[in-house]
Structure 1
Amino acid sequence: HSFKSRSVESTVGEQLSVTLPMVVYDAFMALGKLSEDNNIDIKRAGITGWSLGGGVALFTAWSPIQEAISPNFKFAAHLPFYPPCMVIPDELRFTNAPVHILAGEIDDWVPAAACEELVEAANISGYDIGITVYPDASHSFDRSMDVVLDNDAYSFTDCRMKLSNDGVVSLLNGFPLSSPSLQKIGLAFCADKGAHWGGNKYAREHSMNFAKEFMSKFLFN
């Protein structure tokens, strides 16, 4: 477990103890370990995740990082739930595995608009990444609880970043986010504190059904 193994319970409000690159690495290491089991068809291993984990499910499909970390193995399908899409790679090159993003229209934690921008850019570059944006749905729309405000959570609505091929994330103005201290400074430029999360009945039911159909289609057929 990427959090427990690092003695971390949550990254809400700080985003530094467990980062997206850390968990992307963990995911590929887990995939490599699974490949050692003869009972597992590693060519049918898909990945899904929620929020930070959604970012992992998304960026494990980015070819430069897959080729660098896991050249022998890649995931067969990617289904990110409300991922952080604010980071646009300089090189829009993805594996040939299907990718579909599920996002909430009014998510003020990680905005759906950023995911739509990423999908549009990827599609223009020739990659058929899909997206479903659920109307009136917030972050964690698949929960059964009412929507609440978390004052400690970062809202990335106004954040846009870029990702170089060597893995360096920076703001669009070129400010690098290459260390914990620089990340804190960088977030002060674009992120606000306070974001909502909670369930949406339609989005919860549809997304669960979609997940079953998506994985069945691309892993079992």
Structure 2
Amino acid sequence: MQRCYYLFFIFVLIACNSSLDRDQFSNVVSNTDIIKDPLTQKIYFDSANPFSFKDIITNLDNQLSQKIFGVLKMPTRFNKKNKYPVIIAVAGSNGWSEHHYEYLEMYRQNGIATFELCSFQSRGISSTVGTQVEVTTAMMILDSYRAYELLEKHANIDSKNIGITGWSLGGGVALFSAWKPLNNAINNQVNFAAHLPIYPPCVVTPTVLDFGNSPIHILIGELDNWTPSEACLDLVTELGNNIDITIYPEAHHSFDSNSPILIKENGYILEDCRFVMDSNGAVRMNFLNIPMTTPLLQKLGLFMCARRGPTYGKNVVAKKQAFNFCKEFMTQHLN
């Protein structure tokens, strides 16, 4: 009965909530920020605020502009005469954490520059856990493309060796930045050399199964109920050619973090959620076939399938194995 009432209430509101509230974003970055570390640069660029993939594919030119920044750090043994591969790194829905920086430091020690994409901070948002509408995958993918376009012109960056990685929500960015309809809509000259999504949400299956030709590898835990591994395995099985997956036994979401196993009370459990995305980027609910192209409709779609309270936390064995895999994967494909 509660769901029926909620559904009725939602449809009453749809007419007056048909688009993202353009006033919620703030360009909080400043071009006057100074970083004293000679190996570190804080770089600013222009992006936009598309709510959905459909906004990118069908209406990109009309999206509200957004100033974004990221932090570029050169490898530990930097020589200003050389060019280096770079990894664009994208955090999850709770923002940047200690374990993310552990990876970035490892990459720099192995001769790879890192670019910490600050999509949340640039928009004045600290977390999207439990809502997933303030900063979306679409926004962050566009940010990552604009970062790529900037980095490929950098005097010390090897433009042919720009990779992307991310965790959870950022893992979705690392995964779907390879999707060809988005690539064609934003800039088909952008070609990430490698995609390394770590526990990404795979509950959306596109009707167009074209993720380019660059290598993609998903790392995820067997017991992940926040972004379930089964959905990722299904996607990998359907795609086949340039994508692979490693599923770590007895590992939960954020298995590579430094947190004990905990419950995130306001997070989504997505085990029962499966959606289909058409060629225009519209994700459709698994009932009524309604496109989830606004914050309100997305919340409705998740309400009908998701539960609250996923588990997350460290698995010592999986953390070590994933860390070593990431080093080998990126050094192999960024050369």
TM-score by length of 1: 0.96
- Structure 1, residues 122-176: CA drift from partner, whole Å, max 9, x if none? 01xxx23100000000000001221100111011111111111211111233221
Mapping of residues 141-220 of structure 1, within 5 Å? 141-173=255-287, 174-220=289-335
The match for 1:97 is 214
Higher Rg of the two aligned structures = 2
The answer to whether the Cα contact below 8 Å between 2:214 and 2:242 also exists between their aligned partners in 1 is no
Report the AA paired with residue 198 of structure 2. F
Report the AA paired with residue 329 of structure 2. F
Q: Which runs of 4+ in 1 moved over 6 A?
A: none
For 2:150 and 2:324, the matched residues in 1 are separated by 29
Secondary structure of 1:93 counterpart: coil
Q: 2:251 aligns with which of 118, 123, 137?
A: 137
How far 1:42 sits from its partner (Å)? Answer: 1.6
Secondary structure of 1:43 counterpart: strand
For 2:162 and 2:172, the matched residues in 1 are separated by 17
- Structure 1, residues 96-128: CA drift from partner, whole Å, max 9, x if none? 1000000100001010000000000101xxx23
Secondary structure of 2:266 counterpart: strand
The match for 1:118 is 235
Q: 2:193 aligns with which of 76, 83, 91?
A: 76
- Structure 1, residues 29-50: CA drift from partner, whole Å, max 9, x if none? 1001112213211210000000
For 1:49 and 1:16, the matched residues in 2 are separated by 18
Structure 1, unmatched stretches of 5+, are none
How far 1:65 sits from its partner (Å)? Answer: 0.7
For 2:157 and 2:211, the matched residues in 1 are separated by 24
Asked if 1:106 is matched to 2:253, the reply is: no
Asked if 1:21 is matched to 2:138, the reply is: yes
- RMSD between aligned residues: 0.9
Percent of residue pairs bearing the same amino acid type: 47
